[in-house]
Amino acid sequence: MIRPLCKDRGQAFPIYVMMVAGLLFLALAFFAVGKAAALRNGSQGAADAAALAAAQTAREDIETLFIAALPLETLDLFLRKPFESLRPCAEARRLADANESDLLSCSAEYAYPRYEITAQVEGRNPVDSPVLPGSDRQFATAKATALIEFRCTWKAIDTTNDGVKDLYIFTCRNGAVFEISTSSPPDWVRVSKDLFDVRLIDK
């Protein structure tokens, strides 16, 4: 009776080894999936930061042209053309780099009163799992789009009766009401946040 038991134990050992190997493979596979998800989330965070940084920089950069358009009474024309600046995408690249990602592309779409900047990034750390062939060359990519939207109406007033409108009163959707005088430009950082909404959108 003892010998058969020993034989059964010998036959069970390979099965045990296979089960352990299978469980180890599953554990490594789950780890790879988890790592890939974490890298994807990191890349998405980098893309969000890059797109927002680009949009906020674009909003800052339009101050001179925006204020200049007031006395010429061309504000409406100014708002209907694209904002032109190289700095937003440079800022997007800086934020991507700060989040251990590379900026793959930075593009803009314009349709008054909406101005969209899309940033696509690629993470620098590969999945690199022993159970996924080629994963040492797989990097997480993500894309995000930030919206710059003009959200105010305005009224121009000639306060000196000289035929030149020198005071603009803005009423914005967030409830802000303020004046901008062509002779004494305001703190742009403050008023631009009321004039232009910047936020991430699904694209």
Domain boundaries, the chain: 2-201
Q: Which residue has the higher pLDDT, 56 or 14?
A: 56
Average pLDDT taken over every residue of the chain: 82
Q: How many CB atoms are closer than 10 A to CB 11?
A: 8
Which pLDDT score is estimated for 34? 65
Quote the pTM value: 0.77
For the residues 172-188, what does the mean pLDDT come to?
89
Kindly report, residue by residue over 76-94, the tens digit of the pLDDT.
Answer: 888 887 777 779 999 999 9
- Measuring CA to CA, which residue among 114, 141, 98, 123 is closest to residue 201? 114
- What DSSP designation does 81 have? S
Residues 84, 78: Cα–Cα separation, whole Å: 11
The yes-or-no verdict on residue 40 having pLDDT over 60 is yes
Provide Rg for the chain, Cα atoms.
29
Q: What is the rounded CA–CA span in Å between residue 123 and residue 163?
A: 57
Would you state the structure tokens that stand for residue 174, as one six-digit string? 């967030």
